[in-house]
Chains A and B, each alone.
Chain A
Amino acid sequence: MYQLPAIVAFGLAISASLAAGQPPDGKTAAQWIAEFTKAWDESKWEKTFRTAPSGYIRPLDDEGWKARMCALQGVVGRGKDTIPAVLEALKDKDVPRRVFAAQALGYLAPDVPIEPLLEAAKNDPDAAVRLYAVDALGMKGDKAIDFAALLSTERSGDVRKHLDYAKERNGERVEAAIVKQLADWDAAAIDSAAVGKKAPDFELKAATGETVKLSSYKGKSAVVLVFIYGDT
C-alpha cells in the first residue's frame, strides 16, 4: 500500500510533462507562437497605417499572414492542451503576440477560463487584444457574461461593435463545426487559388443557415466569388 502514492505521483509527473507540451508529433503552442512572432513584421506596414487607403492593408508581397494562419491552425489543431501556453502569451509585453493569443483563444473558448479573458477584455491597453478577447468571451456561449457592463466602459468604437455582436449571440457558443474546420484544415492549401487552376472547393454555411458548396455550381453556372471584410 505504501507504494501507491509513488505510483500515483509518477503517473501525475508523466501526464504533467505531456501537458507541458512534449509533443508526440507536431509543434507545441509555444513553438507556433514563436514562429508567428518571427514572421509577423509590422514595421513596414505601420509607417503607412491610416495615412493612406493602402495603409490599412498589408503589402501584396507580405507573407506574415501565412505564419499567422498556420500558427492559428497549429494551436487550434492541437487543442485545449495549448490553453496554458496561449494564456501566457496573452500577458506578453509584445502586442502582436497578445493579439494572436486573444484571437486563438476564441477557437478554444469553450475550455478557456473566463477570468483571463475578462481581464484582457477590460484592461488590455491594446484595442485589438480587447476586441479578440470580447469575441472569445462571446464564443464561450456563457449567458452570465455581462457584455453590457463591458460596453459601459469601452471607448473604442470597434471593440464596442464586437461587444454588440457578442450580445447578439444571446449565449450561443461557437459551433463545434467551425472549430473543427480550422483544427482539421490542411495548411498546405494556403494561398492555393490561382488563375488557370481549379478553384479550391469549400462548403460554408450562409447567413440564412443553408450550406453552400462551391463545386455544386460546376456544370451549372459560373461563380463570382467576392471576399468582403464584413461591415459592408
Chain B
Amino acid sequence: MRGKLADINDQAAQLLAVDPHEVWSAKFLLKETGLSTDDLQYPLLMDPSLTVSAAYGVAGQMRIHTEWSNRPATFIIDKEGVIHYAHRGTNFNDRPTVNQVLAELQKLPK
C-alpha cells in the first residue's frame, strides 16, 4: 500500500487507516521496526472506543490474535462525502488490490 501511496495521492484522494486499539500498540510495533509515528505516511486513526468501526460494520468480527478485532474493510468516499465503494473482507487476506482501489477512484467525478 505504501508503494502506491503516490498513485492514490495523484488521484487527489486521501488515505486514512483506522485501527481499533489505543495508540500504544502502534507505538510499540513501530518501535520494534525502528520507526516512530513520525514515519507514518498517512493518518493512522485510533478507534479504541470501537464506535467508528461499529458504524462502518466491522467491529469485533475477526479473531486472528486471540482478541476480537476489526474485519478488514475498504471504503471509498467521494468528494461529496457519499460512499462510492465498500468491501468487507471474508478472511484476513481479502482486500481489494491497490490497482482495484485506483480503478474505483478513477470512476469518481472529478
Please list the residues of chain A having a beta carbon within 8 angstroms of any beta carbon in chain B. Answer: 49, 52-54, 56-58, 60, 62, 65-66, 68-69, 72-73, 99, 103, 107, 127-128, 131-132, 138-139, 156, 158-159, 161-162, 164-166, 168-169, 172, 174-175, 178-179, 181-182, 185, 187, 189-202, 204-210, 212, 214-215, 217-231
Q: How far is the CB of A167 from chain B (nearest CB, A)?
A: 8
> Which residue of chain A has its CB nearest to the CB of B18?
A227
Q: What DSSP secondary structure best describes chain B's contact surface?
A: mixed
In order of increasing CB-CB distance, the 6 nearest A-B pairs are: A53-B91, A158-B66, A181-B49, A229-B69, A204-B45, A182-B49
Contact: B77 with A199, CB < 8 Å?
yes
> Which residue of chain A has its CB nearest to the CB of B9?
A221
Interchain Cβ contacts within 8 Å, total number: 265
Mind listing 12 A-B residue pairs with CB under 8 Å? Answer: A56-B91, A58-B61, A128-B68, A200-B56, A204-B47, A205-B23, A205-B45, A207-B44, A212-B16, A227-B17, A228-B70, A230-B20
Question: Restricting to B1-29, which residues have a CB under 8 Å from any CB of A?
Answer: 1, 8, 11-29
Task: Give the contacting residue for B81; candidates A57, A58, A218; CB below 8 A.
Answer: A218
Contact: B83 with A230, CB < 8 Å?
no
Residues of A within 8 A of B56 (CB): 191, 193, 200, 225, 227
Interface digits, B30-73 against A, CB 8 Å rule (1 contact, 0 not)?
01000001101001111111111111111111111111111111
> Which residue of chain A has its CB nearest to the CB of B12?
A221
Contact: A207 with B23, CB < 8 Å?
yes
Contact: A190 with B49, CB < 8 Å?
no
Contact: A68 with B60, CB < 8 Å?
yes
Residues of A within 8 A of B26 (CB): 207, 230
Task: Give the contacting residue for A165; candidates B25, B40, B59, B108; CB below 8 A.
Answer: B25
Contact: B45 with A222, CB < 8 Å?
no
Residues of A within 8 A of B101 (CB): 224
Asked whether A168 and B24 contact (CB < 8 A) given A195-B84, A206-B43, A225-B75, the answer is: yes
Task: Give the contacting residue for A199; candidates B23, B68, B75; CB below 8 A.
Answer: B75
> Which residue of chain B has its CB nearest to the CB of A208?
B37
* Complex-state Cα separation, A201 to B89, whole angstroms: 22
Contact: B40 with A207, CB < 8 Å?
yes
* Complex-state Cα separation, A53 to B71, whole angstroms: 12
Contact: B55 with A207, CB < 8 Å?
no
Asked whether A224 and B8 contact (CB < 8 A) given A58-B61, A68-B60, A158-B67, the answer is: yes
